[in-house]
Amino acid sequence: YLSYLQCGESIIIMQENHAIAELSPAKNTSIVQRPFALCQQDFIVPDNFDEPLPDDILDAFEGK
């Protein structure tokens, strides 16, 4: 069935003579490479990034 989609055809999935889904080929979109370090000045990683979080913040994540 993939070959039909690759040729641009749609596929209709039937169940008991009723169409339940239609598969159609994906639209080709051009992928534009983003520049490396695009937002480098917008984000600063603090020196304590790898340190454990305080207990109150951990509790909030755990719903306590």
Residue 28 scores a pLDDT above 80: no
Q: Decide: helix, strand or coil at residue 37.
A: coil
State what percent of residues in the chain have pLDDT above 90. 53
Q: pLDDT category, 35, cuts 50, 70, 90?
A: confident
Residue type, 21: A
Given the structure tokens 């207990």, which residue do they identify? Answer: 55
The pTM of this model reads 0.41
User: How far lies 52's CA from each of 42, 48, 56, 57, 58, in Å?
Assistant: 24, 9, 12, 10, 9
Could you give the CA distance from residue 64 to residue 57 in angstroms, rounded to a whole number? 10
Q: Is the pLDDT reported for residue 63 higher than 80?
A: yes
Asked which of 11-15, 43-47, 50-54 is least confident by mean pLDDT, the reply is 43-47
